[in-house]
Amino acid sequence: KNSFLLVLFSLHSYICLRELRALKINSCRHGANLIRRQTASSIIETNELKGSEGVEALISFLNGENQQALMNKLALSDTILKNEMQKENFWSGGNFVVEKCKCAGVSEKGLMVEAECNIKGKRQQMRQLLLPFPCPVKDESMLKTALVLMASNVGRVQDTGAIVKLPFGRNYEMPLDFRFNNVPHATWVRSYLYEAAVDAVLQVVKDKSIPNKSRLQMRVNYPEVNPAYDTYRIGTLLEMVRSMALALAEEQGLRVRVCVQQPLGEGIFVGMPLALASMRIVLEKMDWGSRLLPDQKFRQEDNEKPRSEALIRIGTIGAEVLAEDDDVIIVIAPQNVIGGMIVDKLEEMVIAARGRAVILVNPSLSDRPSSNNMMQIRGRAERRAFADSFQDFYALRLLYPSSGGYMFPISGMIAKLDYHSPWVAYNKEQDDKGREVYRILAAFDPYTPPSPNALSGLFTNPENTK
């Protein structure tokens, strides 16, 4: 009898211990869930960006019916949700489905998303997600850029055009009636292009977040600055460079050195590209405006005896040309020639700049092989790596059909308005009044130019721009 009572007591104690342990585990799980919910709500309460018209416009846009596919893709970029979905759907698809997603807010760290999840055998559950931004967001323009990157990363390039057209931050719309095929270009067209280049160069020089300002470039190819066409006008290119240099000197008080490459080659093969043949002479004789003091302007004798008070300086390419007090170096259209290589001298100049801004305007650093074993296979990878190391901060390139077309017809344009702005592709159209319109098609990663295949897909596949 005593043995029976002992066994009964032991069994009762075992059951009590199991119930107590289960209760403790459930309490811990409940506590953990409560902590997670509190953490999510605290993120919303402490970091949500409120009171911004841009944020409200973005939330309204993302919660529209046309953006549900984008929102679902963004939600599935969350690693935890994606892994859970893959685990539930491993044996049978459809066990875990994200039904609908809603943008609940925008914080400094990312998008707050509520995802309605339908899990087989369970009631519908709501998941709160914080989707981090892929780049720092300091203002509404960078908010647009972050959304462009997020949409591109999940394969929704067709939504990027609508994102950059949102009514906040930087305006990426182009003016009407450029008429680039009318040469000479209209005065207002030139003024617009000069001002756009000036804005970009002022922004990039002042921006302290850029890691290496000694490797910057801008590329433009509209007919008056494109030496491949017979419409090339040396004055347009120099006027644009002059506007940039004067803005840096007058508004920022910086010393600007404008460089044109010297003749290259050996013996009777010494020469330089036709597009640069008289550029140095024209540059030295240009009018540098009335806002600078006489001592601050370039003088012919500066070639022999440099002056520290001169804010505008002119030189060639090479480390030996730079002065210790040069603040910004602008190099116009550096390019290799048959029998002569500019890359080595340019690289020496970049190294000697030691972090000071070096800006290439329309560089053409591809190899020009010659019979004297210059620019052959040896060292080609290093030369390409050097050319690719320069980061675009401004670009405006007209696009022509791949089936042919020299200057006609212009199919569209791709532009980058400043260092942190996305690349934006435009299609050239005509409105009901006969005016030339550049309509935004899509936007791309700010720091990587879109590939020719990506651009071609915008024009050949209408689904990519809906």
Residue pair 374/339 in contact (Cβ under 8 Å)? The answer is: yes
Q: Which of 353, 360, 329, 198 is nearest to 258 (CA)?
A: 329
Strands 357-361 and 328-332 turn out to be parallel
Q: What is the sign, positive or negative, of the torsion defined by CA atoms of 210, 211, 212, 215? A: negative
Return the pLDDT at 463: 62
**Residue 414 pLDDT:** 96
* Token output for 391: 């980061």
Whole-angstrom distance, CA of residue 465 vs CA of residue 454: 12
List beta partners, residue 258: 314, 330
Is the Cα dihedral 203, 249, 215, 426 positive or negative?
positive
**Exposure pattern of 184-220 as b/e (b: 16+ CB <10 Å)?**
ebeeebbeebbebbbebbbbbbeeeebeebbbbbbbb
Please tell me the predicted confidence (pLDDT) of residue 94: 74
For residue 239, the model assigns a pLDDT of 95
CA distance 36 to 42: 10
Please report the pLDDT score of residue 305 as a whole number.
86
Q: Residue 85: its pLDDT value, please?
A: 82
Which stretch of DSSP H or E encloses residue 327? none
pLDDT at 351: 95
d(CA 213, CA 291): 27
Question: Could you tell me the pTM of the whole model?
Answer: 0.83
pLDDT at 405 (0 to 100): 57
Q: Pick from 133, 151, 188, 216: which is nearest to 391 by CA?
A: 216
* Three-state DSSP class for residue 60: helix
Q: Which two tokens stand for residue 153?
A: 């990363």
Cβ neighbors of 342 (< 8 A, separation 6 or more) are 261, 264, 317, 334, 335, 336, 365
Instruction: List the pLDDT tens digit at each of the 466 positions of the chain.
Output: 445 444 444 545 555 545 545 444 444 433 433 333 333 333 333 344 555 788 999 999 999 989 999 999 999 899 888 888 888 777 777 778 888 899 999 988 899 999 888 887 677 788 899 999 999 888 899 999 999 999 999 999 999 999 999 999 999 999 999 999 899 999 999 999 999 999 999 999 999 989 889 999 999 999 999 988 888 999 999 999 999 999 999 999 999 999 999 988 777 778 888 888 889 999 999 998 888 999 999 988 888 888 999 999 999 999 999 999 999 999 999 998 877 788 989 999 999 999 999 999 999 988 777 666 667 667 788 888 999 999 999 999 999 887 665 677 899 999 999 999 999 999 999 999 999 999 999 999 999 999 988 998 888 876 665 5
What are phi and psi for residue 96, nearest 5 degrees? -130, 115
The backbone torsions φ and ψ at residue 127, rounded to the nearest 5 degrees and listed phi first, read -110, 130
What pLDDT was estimated at residue 49? 54
pLDDT of residue 214: 94
For residue 53, the model assigns a pLDDT of 83
Structure confidence at residue 377 (pLDDT): 66
Contacts of the segment 34-37: beta carbons below 8 A, 24+ positions apart:
none
